[in-house]
Amino acid sequence: MTTQTDMPALKGAIDAQVEATLERVQALYRQIHQHPELPFEEHETSERLAEALETLGYEVTRGVGGTGVVALFHNGEGPTVMLRGDMDALPIQEATGLAFASTRTAETESGTVPLMHACGHDLHSSCVVGAAAVMAGLKAHWSGTLMLICQPAEEIFGGARAMLDDGLYTRFARPDVILGQHNMPALAGTIGHRAGSTMAACTNLAVTIHGTGGHGSMPAQTVDPVVIAAHVVTRLQTIVSREVPPEETVVVTVGKLAAGTQANIIPHSAELEINVRSFDNALHRQVVDAIERIIRAECEAGRSPTPPEFRVLNETLALHNDPTAVERVRQAHAVHFGETHLYAMPRLNGSEDFPFFGNATEGGFGGEDIPYVYWFIGATPAERWAETPGESVAEKMRHLEMPHSPYYFPGNEVTLRTGIEAMAAGALAYLG
Ligand code: ZN
Ligand code: ZN
């Protein structure tokens, strides 16, 4: 058994384990990178990961919440720590020029799409396997239960809920703390932490506004959904300016507005897609409700023959890192990596479905919320970082490719190593 003060001794042990496993994890990473799959279609990916975890002696279950993988390592009395990695890729044509770049495509409703691991989920799940190897190798140094999950469909905010709905905490174990990470364009080898509000809640909403179509020359015989939609778009802008307290950050974007075919036809309906972001779950609900209220009222004002239809395309919660848990993990990372390798993470307007794992109500598992820590690992090699203009992480980030770019590549050796060590050191902060 170890305590926090033994961590420097454990650093050598972790490093030795990483050394022993790194080559295999790199090979696995390249395999997954070269064979990306769309959300909920991660069949090959999950099989590769499941096999790797089985080989390491973990008790592995496949097909949890679709293609999800759960791996357990029972190692005596103690808490249960859950480490989460995601697996899904994006419909992007890879342009990294890597020897193991993806040339894959997939058939979807909208035709053939290229596939790329442009968000580094291949890195995250490979790091889970790396941490699994390290923790198995160090089993004499810790006690408790390690629960590893490889999650499908993060990009569409579907996989976390799917795994929870499939009994993640009842069939396997209910964790005491949950740890997750994402790569970002910061210096490779560094880790960013943030307590409290860290990432935004997000709702993507599709709306149909109904009218009565007809000839463009006879508007009185029609109900024009284009005019109603135009009022909706403008009126929605009053939510942030008139209904949200000025100290709060909320975004309401109408990203899609589609109606009609040509000038002399008044169409039957108009379609909108709306994106909402905020950092507070209760306020977020209030904003989504306001959108619905305004659209219903505008449809009534415009004599719409049938009420508008609303469809949530996907949705996720605000990410709030538990301050106590963040401090504990940050301390462990400070001991392992050194303070100079840590940075204060700025709040991000991006979103994640990771918070469902900790939210008892929205995650649908009941009881108390579960504390979680989600940190960020730098993915930009030192040379590239040095030549990038700017002083702070935020300044430099403006000049670097971001995740979802066809040029984005976080999978260098330093980042992979850091991701494995960060997960192992984080787990040991609770199990050691
Ligand atoms: Zn992404
Ligand atoms: Zn991502």
pLDDT in the model for residue 212: 98
For residue 151, the model assigns a pLDDT of 98
383 CB-near residues (< 8 Å, 6+ apart): none
Is the separation of the CB atoms in 389 and 295 below 8 Å?
no
Token duo for residue 36 = 């990306």
Domains of the chain and any CATH numbers: 7-199+318-428 (3.40.630.10), 201-315 (3.30.70.360)
Strands 68-75, 144-151: pairing is: antiparallel
Give the helix ranges, DSSP H, for 35-70: 43-55
**How many A from CA of 160 to the centre of ligand 2?**
13
Instruction: Report yes or no: 106 and 37 within 8 Å, Cβ to Cβ.
Output: yes
Distance 353 CA to ligand 2 centre (A): 10
How far does the centroid of ligand 1 lie from the alpha carbon of residue 372, in Å? 20
- Least Cα distance to 69 among 89, 88, 49 occurs for 49
What are the φ/ψ torsions at residue 342 (nearest 5 degrees)? -110, 145
**Using a CB cutoff of 8 Å and minimum separation of 24, what contacts does 97-101 make?**
98/33, 98/409, 100/30, 100/33, 100/34, 101/33, 101/34
pLDDT of 1 reads: 45
User: Model confidence over 105-153: pLDDT tens digits?
Assistant: 999 998 999 999 999 999 999 999 999 999 999 999 999 999 999 999 9
158 near 285, Cβ under 8 Å? no
CA 209/CA 295 separation, integer angstroms: 8
What parts of the chain have a pLDDT lower than 70? 1-9
Which ligand gives the minimal distance to the CA of 354?
2
Which pLDDT value is given to residue 2? 46
pLDDT at position 392 is 87
Ligand 1 (single-atom ion) residues, CB below 5 Å: 119
Give distance in angstroms: CA of 155 to centre of ligand 1: 5
Q: Which ligand is nearest to the CA of 121?
A: 2
Using the mean position of ligand 2's atoms as its centre, give its distance from the Cα of residue 135 in Å.
25
Entry pTM: 0.93
